[in-house]
Amino acid sequence: MSAVFQVENLKKSFGGLAVTQDVSITMNPGDRVALIGPNGAGKTTFVNLVTGHLEPDSGKVMLGGNDVTSLGPTPRVRQGLVRSFQVTRLFPDMTPEEHLALAVMQRTGRTGRIFGHYHSMPDVMAEVAELLRTLGLDHIATRKVSEIAYGQQRLLEIALALALKPKVLLLDEPAAGVPQSDTPRIEAALAGLPSDLAVLMIEHDMDLVFRFAKRVIVLAAGAIIFDGSPEDVTKDARVREAYLGSYANDRSAA
Amino acid sequence: MAAIENTSAAKPAATRPNWLVRDLVGLAVILAVAAIGYFLFPNNLALLTRILGVALLVLSIDLVTGFCGVATLGHAALFGAGAYASGIAAVHFGITDPLLMVVVGAIGGALAGIVSGAVILRGHGLAQLVLSIAVVHLFHEAANKASAYTGGSDGLSGISPDPIFGMFAFDLWGRTAYGFAVALVAIAFVVLRLITRSPFGMLCRGIKEDPIRIRAMGASVQGTLLKMYVISGAVAGVGGALNAISTQVVGLDSLSFTLSAEALVMLVLGGTGSLYGALIGTVSFMWFEDFVSAANPFHWLTIVGALLIAVVLFAPRGLYGSAQTLLDRFRGDGK
Ligand SMILES: Nc1ncnc2c1ncn2[C@@H]1O[C@H](COP(=O)(O)OP(=O)(O)OP(=O)(O)O)[C@@H](O)[C@H]1O
Ligand SMILES: [Mg+2]
């Protein structure tokens, strides 16, 4: 099977702080990977680097065999690399329906049109309705995003990523900020993802990680300290040390 | 569940006529106000026509500032480019049909839009503002130097447009010119309402609210903004052409920083991002300026300044925006 997503020896420092240290990850179609690690481990930075929102100091990012390291975020998305944001990034004055319609029209090459409206594009309307239903957002489809609950905004953030029909999907803590009652929606959406899609999910909720992932990667202080099966991750001494360390730090900070 | 699906399926059908009706009402109001102006100020049609020309400039600023979030103090470059393009076409190339002159003006404005957009969009925030000022100064200087074509500081005179459709000659009282101006503004308004609601218009709104998100959706921010600059340039260019046709001269003041800044002030006064605000702001500012400068020729600038401070402090969303907020609150209370 040929890799759909390949990161080789990625490095990045902010000032003197090495936030990404020689990170290499390969993913195949259909992979379900969880990327975990203590706060500040460099997980979001990794996503920013591979999606082109940040420039790496060195290393290579390949998508379906093409080197995309020198490309900006936009062409990478067009090649199927889509991310969600840890802190929701939405348009406060637009409705969920408008968000999704915009994403679907963008994917299908229709956002250049200066006349017309998505209401008169039946395929867009149908796809938007389907996405809204999947994430349980249909009852607030035409409310402004600034007026809906944060948990619902998180669900919309995921719907937006799905609307772009990615080949590789990077989800940065999709369940963070979602009320417990809504996490089943997220899990259902994750479970319903196309089977040939490669998904990497950053997540702190270990229950969710164990239900979702077939492979777990642990990042600590910018370096990969574990890459293997979910069964082995809890037994790994270095992982436990990294996590215990961070818990101890959390305690003393609190 | 079935009930929910029904309501969400019924929604588009219900919302669509809603904005269509609203735009038609808006258009009717514009035409009604234009007619009232015609009957109330029959001796002042030249001023009303000038207001409509500037209104096109202010609408075009609303496209890039109100809908895309690009700050500019140099938009008169596009207006002046349209004015000179149509004026030069008439004087030096014998293109004196007014409709053709408008088309030439639109093209001139659009080209100026590409040039100034390509420069201005390289910067952000304050740098963008400075670049826009530099652009309008460069355009001004270029027009000044190319005096063989533009008449330099004397202005370009000798523009004598043919009758519209060969039937309606431009009369001494400015009736034809006023009717022409009203028609152009009405058409521009309708077209721009459609554009701002289109998929492209939605993309622009998205860029204004969060360009990083737009990039993460795979859309090009720079390309989209440049396209809007071209559309905006065409609209400003039509305004410039209208000015050239109705006054039959083009002066360097149509390419000035002063006009750029005043037009931005008019937009802020009326309220950004609705197109209505642009029209209301232009009419109130220019009418007020004319009224106050006649009533009190010594202190009118002070009075205009005081009015602006009052609006910005007490109605920060502009006349239209604040009225809308009040109306919404009123409706909310009524429920
Ligand atoms: N733009 C930046 N400039 C300087 N330092 C940064 C920048 N972005 C992140 N960092 C630092 O890099 C380190 C890793 O941050 P990152 O956001 O990638 O962590 P994370 O693993 O996503 O953490 P969390 O679980 O809290 O989201 C942190 O120490 C952070 O302060
Ligand atoms: Mg993070």
DSSP code for A2: -
Q: How confident is the model at residue B10 (pLDDT cuts 50, 70, 90)?
A: very low
pLDDT at A133: 92
Q: Which domain holds residue A246?
A: 5-253
Count how many domains chain B has.
Answer: 1
Checking if the pLDDT of B7 tops 50, the result is no
Interface of B with A in 165-194 (CB under 8 A): 194
pLDDT at A176: 87
Residue A192 vs residue B14, higher pLDDT: A192
pLDDT at B17: 58
Checking if the pLDDT of B121 tops 50, the result is yes
Checking if the pLDDT of B6 tops 50, the result is no
Q: How far is the CA of B260 from the centre of ligand 1 (A)?
A: 43
Q: How far is A93 from chain B (nearest CA, A)?
A: 8
Segment A218-241 mean pLDDT: 88
Pocket test for ligand 1, best of A19, A224, A249 (most atoms within 8 A of CB): A19
Hey, whose CA ends up nearest to atom 24 of ligand 1? Answer: A39
Segment B309-330 mean pLDDT: 85
Chain A residues near residue B9 by CB distance under 8 angstroms? 129
Pocket test for ligand 1, best of A10, A13, A14, A201 (most atoms within 8 A of CB): A14
Instruction: Tell me, using a 6 A CB cutoff, whether residue A42 lines ligand 1.
Output: yes
Closest chain B residue by Cα to residue A165: B217
Instruction: Tell me, using a 6 A CB cutoff, whether residue A12 lines ligand 1.
Output: no
Q: What is the pLDDT of residues A29-87, one digit of tens each?
A: 999 999 999 999 999 999 999 999 999 999 999 999 899 999 999 999 999 999 999 99
Contact status of A65 with chain B (Cβ, < 8 Å): no
Cα torsion for A134, A139, A144, A146, to the nearest 10°?
-80
Q: Would residue B142 count as lying in a domain?
A: yes
* Mean pLDDT of all residues belonging to chain A: 90
Checking if the pLDDT of B1 tops 70, the result is no
Contact status of B231 with chain A (Cβ, < 8 Å): yes
Q: How far is B16 from chain A (nearest CA, A)?
A: 8
Contact status of B92 with chain A (Cβ, < 8 Å): no
Chain A residues near residue B231 by CB distance under 8 angstroms? 114
Q: How far is the CA of A45 from the centre of ligand 1 (A)?
A: 6
CB contact under 8 A, B231 and A93: no
B72 vs B82: CA distance, rounded Å:
18
pLDDT at A107: 96
Interior angle at CA B129, CA B124 and CA B131, nearest 5: 90
Q: Would residue B290 count as lying in a domain?
A: no
Q: What is the pLDDT of residues B30-55, one digit of tens each?
A: 999 999 999 999 999 999 999 999 99
- Which phi and psi (to 5°) does residue A224 adopt? -80, 120
pLDDT at B305: 84
CB contact under 8 A, A102 and B9: no
CB contact under 8 A, A114 and B201: yes
Q: How many residues does chain A have?
A: 254
| Ligand 1 atom at minimum distance from A47 CA | 18
Checking if the pLDDT of B11 tops 60, the result is no
Supply the pTM of this predicted model. 0.89
pLDDT at A239: 82
CB contact under 8 A, A93 and B205: yes
Residue A8 vs residue B291, higher pLDDT: A8
Residue B90 contacts residue B278 (beta carbons within 8 Å) = no
Contact status of A89 with chain B (Cβ, < 8 Å): yes
A34 vs A199: CA distance, rounded Å:
8
B11, B202, B207, B272: best to mutate for the A interface, most A CBs within 10 A? B202
Q: How confident is the model at residue B333 (pLDDT cuts 50, 70, 90)?
A: low
Residue A138 vs residue B300, higher pLDDT: A138
Residue B260 vs residue B125, higher pLDDT: B260
Give the β-pairing of A81-83 and A168-172.
Answer: parallel
Chain A residues near residue B229 by CB distance under 8 angstroms? none
Hey, whose CA ends up nearest to atom 16 of ligand 1? Answer: A42
CATH of the domain at A36: 3.40.50.300
pLDDT at B303: 81
Checking if the pLDDT of B319 tops 70, the result is yes
Q: How confident is the model at residue B330 (pLDDT cuts 50, 70, 90)?
A: confident
Checking if the pLDDT of A250 tops 50, the result is no
Residue B68 contacts residue B204 (beta carbons within 8 Å) = yes
* Mean pLDDT of all residues belonging to chain B: 90
Q: What is the pLDDT of residues B101-119, one digit of tens each?
A: 999 999 999 999 999 999 9
Q: Would residue B107 count as lying in a domain?
A: yes
Q: What is the pLDDT of residues A98-125, one digit of tens each?
A: 999 999 999 999 999 999 999 999 999 9
Q: How far is A91 from chain B (nearest CA, A)?
A: 6
| ipTM field | 0.89
Hey, whose CA ends up nearest to atom 28 of ligand 1? Answer: A40
Nearest CB among B206, B221, B227 relative to A102 is that of B206
Instruction: Tell me, using a 6 A CB cutoff, whether residue A74 lines ligand 1.
Output: no
CB contact under 8 A, A111 and B227: no
The CA radius of gyration of chain B, in Å to the nearest whole number, is 21
pLDDT at B145: 93
Q: Would residue B84 count as lying in a domain?
A: yes
pLDDT at A254: 37
pLDDT at B8: 43
> What are the structure tokens assigned to B9, written together?
């399926």
DSSP code for B250: B
**Tokens 């992932």 -> residue:** A213
Residue A177 vs residue A133, higher pLDDT: A133
Contact status of A142 with chain B (Cβ, < 8 Å): yes
Q: Give the burial class of A17: count Cβ atoms within 10 A of its Cβ; 0-12 exposed, 13-18 middle, 19 or more buried.
A: exposed
> What are the structure tokens assigned to B266, written together?
């008019």
Other C-beta atoms closer than 10 Å to the C-beta of B15 total 13
Count how many domains chain A has.
Answer: 1
Segment B262-291 mean pLDDT: 92
Three-class DSSP category at A4: coil
**Could you tell me which of A63, A1, A58, A57 has the C-alpha nearest to residue A29?**
A1
Segment A153-175 mean pLDDT: 94
Checking if the pLDDT of B4 tops 60, the result is no
Q: Which domain holds residue B90?
A: 18-256
pLDDT at B51: 96
